[in-house]
Amino acid sequence: MDYSQFLAMKQEIGLLVVFLLVFLYDTFMPKKAQSNLPGVTCLFFALFTAACFCPCLLTNAESFSGMYESSAVIVTIKNILNVGVLIVLIQSMKWANSEMQIMRRGEFYELLLVTLFGMYLMISARHFLLFVIGLEAASLPLAAMVAFDKKHYESHEAAVKYIMTAVFSSAIFMMGLSFVYGLTGTLYFDGIANAIVGEDQLNVLLIVALAFVISGVGFKLSLVPFHLWTADVYQGAPTSVTSYLSVISKGATAFAFLVIMVQVFGTLYSQVWEWMLYGLIILTITIGNLFALRQSNMKRFLAFSSISQAGYIMLGVIALNTTGMASLLYYILVYIFSNLAAFGVVSAIENKTGKLSMEDYNGLYKTNPRLSFAMMLAMFSLAGIPPFAGFFSKFFIFTGAIQQGSIAIYVLVLIALINTIPSLYYYLRVVKAMFINDSETPIESFRSATSERLGLWISVGGIILLGIVSCVYNYLLDLTAPSDMFAGLL
């Protein structure tokens, strides 16, 4: 056995080290030191995140006979996720220190880190077994995290819904994989890709298998019609978990999805899955928007908004070019910041007052101008209003998609663009509630915890700067440009 193979997995190993440190701290440190656990975790993770930015990681590496791959792009997407997780961790400090969670927070951090590890595997996996394990590692512990809020029945309900549907979806997913395996005799990505090129590509089984595979990943991305769990779970889960679920998990899966679709099934693009994805994108954006229109619970509302955002993210996949990929990374990054700003405000308010309904936000600006401002920026960014980052990410993802060039893509982008109208409507509803509506019993003025503020500052800073400071996107474009993933697929 050649254990040096593990050396390619620097980020995973680093993450597991953090995991172990947290685990050990949680298990063995005296009670007194326990109160520092959130801070310590954040510190560890921050150090890890910082370390991951080391340029020495930006190399292409392959190990375990091509089962695992790392490249500059992959390192970067992991870094992006790390940043998001760091913000989540910072934002959740207050919650983790709350009376209810104090005895579970160690587990919270551990599970969170394991799911992140699972996502790492999903991203890096070049073998479906590893991918499945990553997928499960990224979703099963999450079910436990969803159930963290023991006081609330919703939390349990959400956990059941999540785990049941997750397993169902992975069953379907694996069914599809079994078909693929039956057709190709391998689970290595490149092996499958080679095999389906060699055979007569279009057989019914492969298409059905592909549909199952897409549905399985689509479940995690909450693409319509595989999205139905999303709203309930987001609503029921503790807000910190929801924010994690909505951004990190989605971001990781989106990239993994891109990899699968391109590296494995790339040759089927124009005949098969372009159209599958086409339909799914339209459905996802539209239905997500339609549902979001009628929500009054903030978390549920953000859930549906995130569904429709997933549809936009998928445009980066259907683009099938490096611009699309860079835009997808960028979109994920921006989405992390925007959504975390929104969730940061939601959780700050929830932690203070327990209020979650949109009506409760009426007149918020009069009492808590800063929070409202952060929320407004988040909403604008999500809606794609310049000069906030969301505008740039949307614009670039459309640019990437249109680079594909077919008229059908133009139509798709047009539909997506028209869908920004209802989405703008519901984002503005929140703004309206805070700024325009009056309330007799507004949420009174309060000072949110330092950690929450810090998290919000980071998110807001990201929202404002990520777009205007062009180097981020330029960097991503430069990073993806040499990739030959897409060569010859169109």
Partner 1 sequence: MDITLMYYLIPSLVMFCCGVYGFITRKNMIAILISLELMLNAVDINFVVFNRFLFPGQLEGMFFTLFAIAIAAAETALAIAIIINIFRVAKNIDVRDLTKMKF
Partner 2 sequence: MESVGSIIMYLIIALAIIVFSVLAVTTRKILRSATYLLFTLFATAGIYFMMDYQFLGAVQIAVYAGGIVVLVVFSILLTSKPGDKAEKLASKRRAIGLLAAFAMLGVSGYALLSRCGFFAQLPAMGDVTMDQIGDQLLGTGQGGMLLPFEAISVLLLACIIGGIVVARKR
Partner 3 sequence: MDQITPLLILALPLCMFLFLGLAGNKMSHKMAGILGTLGMGVTLILAYSTAFTYFFSGNPDFIDAAGNRLQSVIFDFTWLEFTENLVIKLGFLLDPISAMMLVVITTISFMVHLYSLGYMHGEKGFQRYYAFLSLFSFSMLGLVVATNIFQMYIFWELVGASSYLLIGFYYTKPSAVSASKKAFIVTRFADLGFLIGILILSFFTETFNFIDMTSAPENVLASTGGATFMGASVLTWALVLIFMGGMGKSAMMPLHIWLPDAMEGPTPVSALIHAATMVVAGVYLVARMFPVYLMEEAALTIVTVVGALTALYAAIVACTQVDIKRVLAFSTISQIAFMMVALGVARPEIHEGVGYMASMFHLFTHAMFKALLFLGAGALIHAVHSNDYTAMGGLRKYMPITHITFLIGCLAIAGIPPFAGFFSKDEILVAAFENNMLWGLWMTAVAGLTAFYMFRLYYRIFWWNTPDYEKHGHVPHDAPWTMTLPLIILATVSIVAGFIPFGELVTWNREAYHIHLNWTVATTSVLVAVVAILIATVMYRKENAISDKIANSVKGLWTAAYNRFYFDELYIFITHKIIFNLVSRPIAWFDRHIIDGTMDMFATMAHKASGAIKGLQSGSIQTYVLVYLLGALLLGVVTVVCVML
**Chain centroid to CA 148:** 20
Backbone angles phi, psi at 33, to 5 degrees: -70, -15
**Chain centroid to CA 264:** 22
Radius of gyration of the chain (CA): 21
Q: How many angstroms separate the CA atoms of 1 and 120, rounded?
A: 23
Closer to partner 3 by CB, 291 or 392: give it.
291
163 binds partner 1 (CB under 8 A): yes
Q: How many angstroms separate the CA atoms of 433 and 437, rounded?
A: 5
211 binds partner 3 (CB under 8 A): yes
Closest CA to 91 of 458, 434, 369: 458
Binding residues vs partner 2 (CB under 8 A): 1-2, 5, 16, 63-68, 103-104, 107, 110-111, 114-115, 117-118, 121, 127, 129-130, 133-134, 136-137, 140-141, 143-145, 147-148, 150, 159, 175, 179, 182-183, 203-205, 207-209
Residue 118 binds which one of partner 1, partner 3, partner 2, none, with CB within 5 to 8 A depending on kind? partner 2
Residue 153 binds which one of partner 3, partner 1, partner 2, none, with CB within 5 to 8 A depending on kind? partner 1
Closer to partner 3 by CB, 208 or 411: give it.
208
Closest CA to 90 of 462, 360, 442, 404: 462
* Least Å from the CB of residue 39 to partner 1: 29
Place of tokens 């259907």: 318
Give the other-Cβ count within 10 Å of 445's Cβ. Answer: 11
Residue 272 binds which one of partner 2, partner 3, partner 1, none, with CB within 5 to 8 A depending on kind? partner 3
Residue 110 binds which one of partner 1, partner 2, partner 3, none, with CB within 5 to 8 A depending on kind? partner 2
Among 19, 229, 301, 396, binds partner 3 (CB under 8 A): 229
Pairing of strands 61-63, 68-70: antiparallel
Closer to partner 1 by CB, 231 or 456: give it.
231
Q: How far is CA 479 from CA 27, 76, 325, 362, in A?
A: 41, 9, 10, 44
- Tell me if 292 sits within 8 A of 305, measured CB to CB: yes
Stretch that binds partner 1, among 12-20, 76-84, 227-235, 457-465 (CB under 8 A): 227-235
407, two tokens: 């008229």
Amino acid letter at 37?
A: L
Residue 107 binds which one of partner 1, partner 2, partner 3, none, with CB within 5 to 8 A depending on kind? partner 2
179 binds partner 1 (CB under 8 A): yes
232 binds partner 3 (CB under 8 A): yes
- Tell me if 347 sits within 8 A of 239, measured CB to CB: yes
* Least Å from the CB of residue 170 to partner 1: 8
* Least Å from the CB of residue 329 to partner 2: 24
Number of residues that bind partner 3 (CB under 8 A): 39
Among 21, 43, 160, 195, binds partner 3 (CB under 8 A): 160
Stretch that binds partner 3, among 86-94, 190-198, 279-287, 431-439 (CB under 8 A): 279-287
**Chain centroid to CA 486:** 23
Q: How many angstroms separate the CA atoms of 202 and 205, rounded?
A: 8
Backbone angles phi, psi at 62, to 5 degrees: -140, 135
Q: Calculate ∠ Cα 358-433-157, nearest 5°.
A: 10
* Least Å from the CB of residue 428 to partner 2: 39
Query: Which 94-153 residues touch partner 1, going by CB under 8 A?
Result: 128-129, 132-133, 136, 140, 143-144, 147, 150, 153
Residue 407 binds which one of partner 2, partner 3, partner 1, none, with CB within 5 to 8 A depending on kind? none
Contacts with partner 1, 269-308, as mask; x by CB under 8 A: -------------------------x-----x--------
Query: Which 288-317 residues touch partner 3, going by CB under 8 A?
Result: 289-291, 293-294
* Least Å from the CB of residue 46 to partner 2: 22
Place of tokens 């800073």: 461
Alpha helices in 223-368 (DSSP H): 229-236, 239-243, 250-259, 274-293, 298-319, 322-353, 364-367
Omega of the bond leading into 38 within 30 degrees of 0 (cis): no
Per DSSP, what are the bridge partners of residue 125?
A: 68
Closer to partner 2 by CB, 64 or 475: give it.
64
**What's the chain's length in residues?**
490
Q: How many angstroms separate the CA atoms of 65 and 63, rounded?
A: 5
Three-class secondary structure of residue 68 per DSSP: strand
| Distant-in-sequence, close-in-space partners of 318: CB < 8 Å, separation ≥ 6 | 274, 277, 278, 281, 324, 401, 404, 409, 412
Closer to partner 1 by CB, 200 or 444: give it.
200
Q: Interface with partner 1 by CB under 8 A: which residues?
A: 128-129, 132-133, 136, 140, 143-144, 147, 150, 153-154, 156-161, 163-164, 167-168, 170-172, 174-175, 177-179, 181-182, 185-187, 231-232, 235-236, 294, 300
Q: Interface with partner 3 by CB under 8 A: which residues?
A: 160-161, 164-165, 168-169, 172, 202, 204, 207-208, 210-212, 214-215, 219, 224-226, 228-229, 231-232, 271-273, 275-276, 279-280, 287, 289-291, 293-294, 422, 425
